[in-house]
């Protein structure tokens, strides 16, 4: 069997439908209140910030999943949520799918923050050394403080961590199902999953300057998704499609 053909399938099941609506409404609110004249910043309060940042709040581990950077960002995530999440929700039911989705998103955030915090250790150390030294507060000093604040307060947002968990779960359960890239080029889910995960892991480790994609959140979401689906499905591991 190479294709997923459920006997009873909802094209837009409850949780997926509500996630699409919530993400769409929040994206609309983000853009409505965006701009230099706005007194409220969705990104400052609800996007994910490093533990070392004064902007970090615990609820951001959840809320960052419902914010997106631009139209392409939200469209790609929501398309993948609908394509793969609908199948998983039909298979598992709404409660289990929602639990899976949220755990993947939060797990991805924790892994991302752990890696980010490690990367920021020398930056924070240098900053505190400079702040406690007798260096005169000249223009160079002020420029460094501005650069530090920009680096430490970078916001991470998007549902990509949870989406990668959903994608990996689909790949694990339906490895031989064909996925059509750009609706034209067929590739089995297992090969797409391996290629996509390898791509994200390579660039996460490479950590190129100027790469503003949270690669470790993607990798983290995939890892959490794999662990969960493996545990949940270990009694039926022979039932692949």
Give pLDDT tens digits for 159-201: 999 999 999 999 999 998 888 776 678 888 889 888 988 988 8
User: Two tokens at 37?
Assistant: 């004249």
Q: Span 14-116+153-236: which CATH code?
A: 1.20.1540.10
Return the ∠ at Cα 201 (arms to 160 and 23), rounded to 5°.
0
pLDDT at 160 (0 to 100): 94
Contact 68, 20 (CB under 8 A): no
Q: Which of 26-30, 45-49, 143-147, 193-197 shows the lowest per-residue confidence on average (mean pLDDT)?
A: 143-147
The pLDDT-based confidence of 235 (bands split at 50, 70, 90) is low
- Each domain of the chain, given as residue ranges in start order, spans 14-116+153-236
| CA–CA distance, 29 with 197 (Å, rounded to integer) | 32
By three-state DSSP, how is residue 132 classified? coil
Contact 23, 159 (CB under 8 A): yes
Q: pTM for this structure?
A: 0.86
> With 70 as the cut, is the pLDDT of residue 2 above it?
no
For the chain, what is the mean pLDDT? 85
């Amino acid at each position: 069997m190479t294709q997923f053909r459920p006997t009873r399938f909802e094209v837009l099941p409850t949780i997926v439908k509500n996630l699409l609506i919530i993400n769409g409404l929040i994206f609309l609110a983000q853009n409505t209140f965006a701009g230099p004249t706005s007194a409220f910043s969705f990104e400052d309060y609800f996007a994910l910030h490093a533990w070392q940042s004064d902007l970090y709040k615990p609820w951001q581990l959840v809320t960052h999943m419902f914010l997106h950077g631009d139209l392409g960002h939200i469209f790609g995530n929501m398309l993948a949520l609908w394509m793969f999440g609908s199948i998983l929700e039909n298979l598992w039911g709404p409660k289990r799918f929602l639990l899976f989705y949220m755990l993947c998103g939060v797990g991805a955030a924790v892994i991302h923050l752990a890696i980010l915090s490690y990367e920021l250790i020398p930056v924070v150390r240098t900053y505190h050394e400079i702040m406690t030294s007798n260096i005169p507060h000249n223009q160079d000093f002020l420029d460094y403080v501005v650069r530090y604040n920009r680096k430490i307060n970078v916001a991470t947002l998007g549902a990509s961590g949870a989406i990668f968990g959903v994608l990996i779960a689909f790949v694990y359960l339906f490895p031989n199902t064909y996925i059509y890239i750009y609706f034209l080029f067929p590739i089995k889910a297992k090969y797409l999953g391996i290629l996509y995960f390898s791509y994200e892991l390579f660039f996460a480790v490479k950590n190129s300057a100027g790469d503003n994609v949270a690669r470790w959140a993607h990798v983290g979401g995939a890892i959490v998704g794999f662990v969960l689906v493996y545990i949940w499905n270990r009694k039926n591991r022979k039932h692949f499609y």
